[in-house]
Amino acid sequence: MGRGRVEMRRIENKINRQVTFSKRRNGLLKKAYELSVLCDAEVALIIFSSRGKLYEFGSSGITKTIERYERSTYNPEENNVERSWYHEVSKLRAKYESLQRTQRQLLGEDLGPLSLKELQNLEKQLEGALTQTRERKNHILMEQMEELREKERQLGDMNKQLKMKVSLEMTAFEAEQKALMIALPCPWNTNGPTGNHIFPVQISHQPNAIECQPEPILQMGYHNYNPGEGPSSTPRSLAIESSIIQGWAI
């Protein structure tokens, strides 16, 4: 009976898998050797087991065969571009890692590998950075104070202008009120030359103060006078009594 066909899939049993690997590895190495001898071919074979163990065969040496492979697949333009990009990426990666390391050291991390001299240099850098930060802060504060002073001066000028404007408007308003009060008629003065009710005005020393001199009042009817009380004590009552006309005389 012939051997049955083996299904091409991963062998789950660990022992069977290792046995199969050893048998087929030896057979593959044997076939590579036979091919190189019978056909005068340059053969290189590299095998890594699942555990990472290396098995190799080279009819002319593995390194020599690999170099020959690279020369046969070498494209100058593509290779130069790839090498250029590779070097650029390598430089950027190294710079990025250096910046990260420096940043951590400035934050007080990863200080263990640093020597005494490196720590002193780091301390000087931190002191210099702190000095520059304070100078910049003071400069910004001075600029803000100057801006506030300028705004204060502008507001002061605006306040003065508003005070002057209000003062002029108040002066004009007082003059207008004074002229209006001078021309205002007095209802009890009918002795004007034209018959208009114009009262004499006497301006006192106080602003906007006017005094209207009333005429004697004519009273109709009998005036109740009590001899025991004596004459009235007010000037107005005296003026009234002096201008009384008896009721029976009308």
Question: What CA–CA distance (Å, rounded) separates 243 from 220?
Answer: 10
CATH number of the domain within which 68 lies: 3.40.1810.10
Question: What CA–CA distance (Å, rounded) separates 167 from 56?
Answer: 109
The confidence score (pLDDT) of residue 216 equals 54
Answer yes or no: is 94 within a domain. Answer: yes
Domain residues for 17? 10-74
Q: What is the 3-state secondary structure (H, E, C) of the chain?
A: CCCCCCCCCCCCCHHHHHHHHHHHHHHHHHHHHHHHHHCCCCCEEEEECCCCCEEEEECCCHHHHHHHHHHHCCCHHHHHHHHHHHHHHHHHHHHHHHHHHHHHHHCCCCCCCCCHHHHHHHHHHHHHHHHHHHHHHHHHHHHHHHHHHHHHHHHHHHHHHHHHHHHHHHHHHHHHHHHHHHCCCCCCCCCCCCCCCCCCEEECCCCCCEEECCCCCCCCCCCCCCCCCCCCCCHHHHHHHHCCCCHHHC
Answer yes or no: is 57 within a domain. Answer: yes
β-strands 201-203, 210-212 pairing: antiparallel
Answer yes or no: is 61 within a domain. Answer: yes
**Does 123 share its domain with 168?**
yes
The confidence score (pLDDT) of residue 210 equals 45
Question: Which residues have a Cβ under 8 Å from the Cβ of 203 and sit 6 or more positions away?
Answer: 209, 210
| Alpha carbon distances (Å) from 217 to 197, 222, 236, 247 | 15, 14, 9, 15
Answer yes or no: is 195 within a domain. Answer: no
The confidence score (pLDDT) of residue 156 equals 92
Query: Which tokens go with 89?
Result: 């990426």
**Does 145 share its domain with 173?**
yes
CB 175 within 8 A of CB 208: no
Q: What is the mean pLDDT of the chain?
A: 76
pTM of the full predicted structure? 0.34
Answer yes or no: is 17 within a domain. Answer: yes
Answer yes or no: is 171 within a domain. Answer: yes
CB 219 within 8 A of CB 243: yes
What does the buried/exposed string (b/e) look like for 121-153 if buried means 16 or more CB atoms within 10 Å of the residue's CB? ebeeeeeeeeeeeeeeeeeeeeeeeeeeeeeee
**Does 70 share its domain with 93?**
no
Answer yes or no: is 139 within a domain. Answer: yes
Answer yes or no: is 18 within a domain. Answer: yes
The confidence score (pLDDT) of residue 84 equals 74
**Does 55 share its domain with 41?**
yes
CB 181 within 8 A of CB 211: no
Phi/psi of residue 212, nearest 5 degrees: -105, 120
**Does 14 share its domain with 67?**
yes
Listed as ranges, residues in the chain with pLDDT below 50 are 1, 188-190, 192-212, 222, 225, 227, 229-250
The confidence score (pLDDT) of residue 88 equals 83
Residue 199's CB is within 10 A of a number of other CB atoms, namely 19
The confidence score (pLDDT) of residue 140 equals 94
Side-chain-facing half-sphere of 104: CA atoms under 13 Å: 12
Report the domain count for the chain: 3
